[in-house]
């Protein structure tokens, strides 16, 4: 999945919201900004591995925020599976 695909699908942004989506089985793919603080993103990455969710290390926080149509950067975003 790419950032362009993320913009076209239902999604959530922010580490807390993405962790909730992964925990509930609603995340198809998780994007993590490569310039985000590792202390913040490490628990999310571990949760994705535990739950078998595709994890994509992506560009910058600013680019991830832009892909999600928000005016600020985002450390993480998840494309959602609305059927779950």
Task: Kindly tell me if the per-residue pLDDT of 69 is higher than 50.
Answer: yes
What is the predicted pLDDT for the residue at 84? 45
pLDDT of residue 83: 56
The reported pTM is 0.90
For residue range 20-57, what is the model confidence (pLDDT) as tens digits? 999 999 999 999 999 999 999 999 999 999 999 999 98
In DSSP terms, 44 is beta-bridged to none
* Residue 39 three-state SS: helix
- CA-CA-CA-CA torsion sign (64, 69, 74, 77): negative
Closest Cα to residue 80, out of 24, 15, 41? 24
Average pLDDT over residues 56-79: 92
The topology (CATH level 3) of 3-80 is 60s Ribosomal Protein L30; Chain: A; (3.30.1330)
The strands making up 27-33's β-sheet, listed across from edge to edge, are 11-13, 76-80, 27-33, 54-58
């Amino acid at each position: 999945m790419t950032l362009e695909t993320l913009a076209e699908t239902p999604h959530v942004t922010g580490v807390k919201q993405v962790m909730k989506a992964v925990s509930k089985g609603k995340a198809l793919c998780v994007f993590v900004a490569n310039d985000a603080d590792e202390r913040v993103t490490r628990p999310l990455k571990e949760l994705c591995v535990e739950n078998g969710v595709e994890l994509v290390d992506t560009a910058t926080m600013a680019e991830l925020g832009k892909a999600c149509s928000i005016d600020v950067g985002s450390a993480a975003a998840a494309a959602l599976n609305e059927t779950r």
